[in-house]
Structure 1
Amino acid sequence: MCEANAYLWKDGEEKMIFENVDRVQPHEGGLLLEDIFGRRLFLDARIKELALVDHKIILEEIEK
């Protein structure tokens, strides 16, 4: 399978926040993540790094 897990980068550490991510869509003020089951999560975040071989999407919060 080609899905990735989403991690939030905070205080120098990665914390997994969403598994089996199939789609990442930019939206005003953040990102919409959707998993293989159709569940969605909206975050006020931006992509910090994509580690595709490791199946990781690393995000960081947007300061408002």
Structure 2
Amino acid sequence: MCEANAYIYEDGKEILYLENVDIMRPEGDKIYLRNFFGEQKLFEGEIKEISLLNHKIVLKKK
């Protein structure tokens, strides 16, 4: 599988937010995420970094 895990960057640390993310898209000032199992989350913030090689998405609050 090639899904990525999403983390929130806060206080210099990366905290796991959602595993096995398969869809990510902007929705206004929020980011919609859905994982392989159908779990959905709407994050209010922005993308800090995406590492395709490491299958990792890092988000940060505005």
**For this structure pair, what is the TM-score category when the shorter chain's length is used for normalisation?**
over 0.9
After TM superposition, the score normalised by the length of structure 2 is 0.94
- Please state if 1:53 is matched with 2:53: yes
Structure 2: how far apart are the matches of 1:50 and 1:7? Answer: 10
Cα deviation, 1:40-60, whole Å, max 9, x if unaligned, reads: 100101110001111100000
After TM superposition, the score normalised by the length of structure 1 is 0.91
The number of equivalent residue pairs is 62
In the alignment, what sits opposite 1:33? 33
Structure 2 stretches of 5 or more lacking a match? none
SS in 2 for 1:53: coil
In the alignment, what sits opposite 1:4? 4
In the alignment, what sits opposite 1:22? 22
Task: Report sequence identity in percent.
Answer: 42
Once the 2 structures are TM-superposed, how far is the Cα of residue 37 of structure 1 from its aligned partner?
1.4
Structure 1 stretches of 5 or more lacking a match? none
Structure 2: how far apart are the matches of 1:45 and 1:16? Answer: 15
Once the 2 structures are TM-superposed, how far is the Cα of residue 38 of structure 1 from its aligned partner?
1.5
The aligned amino acid for 1:22 is D
